[in-house]
Amino acid sequence: MLIEAGLLQGDDSLYAATNLGLLHHVHSGLRAHVLFHKDVEYIVQEGQVVLIDEHTGRTMPAERLSEGLHQAIEAKEGVRIQSESQTLASTTFQNFFRLYDKLAGMTGTADTEAFEFRQIYGLDCVVIPTNVPMRRDDLNDLVYLTREEKFEAIIEDVRACIDSGAPFWWAQPRWRPLKSSPKPFKSRVSSTRY
């Protein structure tokens, strides 16, 4: 295909040093077509490719993929291909925060990273006790050998919540895994109101 398009000579190797730029474009195109799906990882909005945050499902209009990948998706969708933004400088969050004379913060999860806060920022973590006893049970992780076993356990958990009247919240980072859930899961849970 590359030879027919005149991008590669018949006796040239795509992996030759002189063709590294072409190889990069081929990789970007393949990634755009195989790994990025419209209405899952991105949407087309007002003639532009807009990324979707995989954790929240919200659009990220100010974000663009780097190294030609965003342009490859734009070409795939037939919208105007915008020039790639150029990074002039970058820094880590840790180095950025060190630029401040004073640092402080508050989070519910700092204690597990206390060593990192001490080592990187020179900050101690102080645990503030809850004003009422904690009702949450921290259970061990559950690991299953197959997807079927995992979904069967999820079904049983959801059923137990429904039977006891306890609320539950189904959350996952992407929509695709739910669409590909085994049929027993869909038929036994999706029709239940919760």
The confidence band for 121, taking pLDDT boundaries of 50, 70 and 90, is confident
Task: Report whether pLDDT(149) > 90.
Answer: yes
Determine the pLDDT at residue 72.
Answer: 96
Task: Report whether pLDDT(181) > 70.
Answer: no
Determine the pLDDT at residue 14.
Answer: 83
Look at the chain and report how many structural domains it folds into.
3
Residue type, 80: R
When comparing pLDDT for 56 and 36, which is higher? Answer: 36
Structural domain including 42 reads 1-88
| Cα–Cα distance for residue pair 185/114, rounded to 1 Å | 40
- In terms of domains, do 115 and 155 share one? no
pLDDT in tens, 19-31: 888 889 999 999 9
Determine the pLDDT at residue 172.
Answer: 62
Is position 80 within any domain? yes
The DSSP 8-state label assigned to residue 147 in this structure reads H
Sign of CA dihedral 66, 72, 78, 83: positive
Exposed, middle or buried, 71 (CB in 10 Å: 0-12/13-18/19+)? buried
Is position 75 within any domain? yes
8 Å CB contact between 153 and 142: yes
Q: In whole numbers, what is the pLDDT of the chain averaged over residues?
A: 85
Task: Report whether pLDDT(96) > 50.
Answer: yes
Determine the pLDDT at residue 175.
Answer: 47
Count of CB atoms situated within 10 Å of the CB of 29:
17
- In terms of domains, do 12 and 82 share one? yes
Alpha carbon distance, N-terminus to C-terminus of the chain: 52
Q: Among the three residues 51, 68, 88, which one is the final residue of a domain in this structure?
A: 88
| Cα–Cα distance for residue pair 143/164, rounded to 1 Å | 24
Dihedral of the alpha carbons of 182, 185, 186, 190, in degrees to the nearest 10: -160
